Chains A and B, each alone.
Chain A
Amino acid sequence: MINKMFSDELEKISWEETTKAIYSKTDADVRRALSKKEHLDVNDFMALISPAATPYLEVMAHLSQKYTMERFGKTISMFVPLYLTNSCTNSCVYCGFHISNPMKRTILTEEEIINEYKAIKRLAPFENLLLVTGENPAAAGVPYIARALDLAKPYFSNLQIEVMPLKAEEYKELTKHGLNGVICFQETYNKANYKTYHPRGMKSKFEWRVNGFDRMGQAGVHKIGMGVLIGLEEWRTDVTMMAYHLRYLQKHYWKTKYSVNFPRMRPSENGGFQPNVIMNDHELAQLTFAMRIFDHDVDISYSTRESAEIRNNMATLGVTTMSAESKTEPGGYYSYPQTLEQFHVSDERKAVEVERDLKKLGREPIWKDWDQSFDFKR
């Protein structure tokens, strides 16, 4: 059997034509999409993120809130990221961990990792942990990640990773060590320009990255997180490609749960890269509402890249998952609070403050929503 991959599908979709189609959407297209209520297709999504939909922002907010309440209730799922290493062989032009950046590199030891886990548990009753690494398979590859997962099990009930794309067998191997989910940002679906931002290293290989999601699906990963980095290319086109990708994955790997992220680029301390496009708060809200109306069930995640104000406001309108009190430097919770961070967070509230604010908004933060007993077969 020849396995088709998403890159084969993507070949059939023209970036330029898609951009043109989005900007040609009319008021009637938007109204048609909004009248559908459910089972919207990517064409409808394009209408909802188009400039033609901006007069409908309030209507979209109401629909987004309604659908989110039906499916997720009055809850927000909480997670915390832990950077295990800032060591990286890639040279992404926008990233503080860029290989040529003369910074101190750290790979946490086992003892340090445990100290971080304990320190996190002192902040709040986090149960959803996201382990993050740069790409350095020789020094912090699959065996290292597997060990970190093993060490995490006594402290956390749900374990996710955000690391370099792996082989399907490697994802499978990690599920034996307790892996529940994988987050990977494609950054951009613009293949023609992809290499400008990712000139060297494994990350420069567009197909390897974009087909990584198929490999996760084939390995039976329970939850897959997707994202485009807002600031590189025309965002409306990029998120449309992600919507195509989401529908493709849902069809092929139907037992997997999906989440989407739209991280807006933050200034990294050494990258010096200036975003090519800026997405303002109105546009972020429009995109979030559009995504929820397009897909009532997809998890929409806002990290601490976003300000406390926008996170609080969006918590009742479509967002379903949030991180809190995140440190974006390896060992940032305990071992090395001073090491160089990947990007500077915008929301600096403590986890307990985020919790308090959510409760004030009438939302219950959910810390635990998985049980390791469900993973016994691994």
Chain B
Amino acid sequence: MEKLVIAGREFNSRLFLGTGKFNSNEVMEQSILASGTEMVTVAMKRIDMDNKEDDMLKHIIHPNIQLLPNTSGVRDAEEAVFAAQLAREAFGTNWLKLEIHPDPRYLLPDSIETLKATEELVKLGFVVLPYCQADPVLCKRLEEAGAATVMPLGAPIGTNKGLQTKEFLQIIIEQAGIPVVVDAGIGAPSHAAEAMELGASAVLVNTAIAVAGNPVEMARAFKAATEAGRQAYEAGLGLQADNFIAEASSPLTAFLNK
């Protein structure tokens, strides 16, 4: 399997994990390890940044894992830029998952503020991974602004509905010059496999693992599915049956053989 490279760093795993919604920090840690992930995002609002012994953080930090603080809770670009600078200092990393969702119900990202903040944060030296709408034009604009990846949503956060935005994700993947990480909405390993088969560079999963009956087993299932989907993509999928339905008894091109 090809390695994933983001901002010069290599990743063996194409599965990224979120850390909310688990029933304990211990189960979260075991899930992280079981998933084989090398990129884990954590909401800075959940962490006591003055406390070096913060219990949640202790269960996330691991030598192979790139910590990816996220700005969940901020409502505009200005707040995001401020929070990012604190996160950089507190967590000792310039990697950042940019999340600006002023709508607290569906947690949908604000495209305008996300683009503004990306421009600003790139100038400040951050490796910016913005959570964004599955909007192909926006994704190109984020790329031009210097984003390290784009992270378009498959469906609203926490809904487990899968790739509702599939048509747009395909365009985004086709056009992207940077890695495309499908974030939000991935509710089952089959969704992760589907995203990888489409050619996504990686998937980010949280709710589907955290709220599973057995999160650790589910983390393993996602690991397998993500790898399978990627392998299938690299192997080259066979012909898709529905493109070949038109072999009718009187072919449209029969006149050519006359």
A371, B44: Cβ atoms under 8 Å?
Answer: yes
- Kindly list chain A residues whose C-beta atoms are within 8 Å of the C-beta of B20: 73, 75
Q: Encode contact with B along A228-267: 1 for CB under 8 Å, 0 otherwise.
A: 0000000000000000000000100011110000000000
Whether, in the assembled complex, A364 has its beta carbon less than 8 Å from a beta carbon of chain B, the answer is: yes
Q: Encode contact with A along B194-226: 1 for CB under 8 Å, 0 otherwise.
A: 000000000000010011000000000000000
Given contacts A70-B160, A70-B207, A73-B20, contact A364 B25 (CB under 8 A): yes
In the complex, A101→B164 CA distance in Å? 60
B46, A369: Cβ atoms under 8 Å?
Answer: yes
Whether, in the assembled complex, B228 has its beta carbon less than 8 Å from a beta carbon of chain A, the answer is: no
B102, A370: Cβ atoms under 8 Å?
Answer: no
Q: Which of B116-151 contact A (CB under 8 A)?
A: none
Given contacts A255-B103, A297-B104, A374-B74, contact A74 B210 (CB under 8 A): yes
Chain B interface, DSSP helix/strand/loop, else mixed: loop
Q: Which of A71, A73, A254, A371 contacts B103 (CB 8 A)?
A: A254
In the complex, A346→B79 CA distance in Å? 41
B158, A374: Cβ atoms under 8 Å?
Answer: no
Q: Which of B48, B102, B159, B210 contacts A73 (CB 8 A)?
A: B210
A69, B45: Cβ atoms under 8 Å?
Answer: no
Q: Which of B10-50 contact A (CB under 8 A)?
A: 20-25, 44-49
Whether, in the assembled complex, B65 has its beta carbon less than 8 Å from a beta carbon of chain A, the answer is: no
In the complex, A368→B78 CA distance in Å? 23
In the complex, A73→B210 CA distance in Å? 7
B73, A370: Cβ atoms under 8 Å?
Answer: yes
- Kindly list chain A residues whose C-beta atoms are within 8 Å of the C-beta of B106: 297
Whether, in the assembled complex, A278 has its beta carbon less than 8 Å from a beta carbon of chain B, the answer is: no
A70, B211: Cβ atoms under 8 Å?
Answer: yes
By beta carbon, the residue of chain B nearest A75 is B21
By beta carbon, the residue of chain B nearest A127 is B48
By beta carbon, the residue of chain A nearest B210 is A73
Most buried by A among B103, B104, B106, B207: B104
Whether, in the assembled complex, A373 has its beta carbon less than 8 Å from a beta carbon of chain B, the answer is: yes
Q: A73-B23, A368-B45, A377-B82 are in contact. List 15 more A-B contacts (CB 8 A).
A: A70-B158, A70-B160, A71-B158, A73-B21, A74-B22, A74-B210, A255-B103, A256-B104, A364-B22, A368-B46, A368-B47, A368-B48, A371-B44, A371-B45, A374-B75
**B residues neighboring A (CB under 8 Å):** 20-25, 44-49, 73-75, 78-79, 82-83, 86, 102-106, 158-160, 207, 210-211
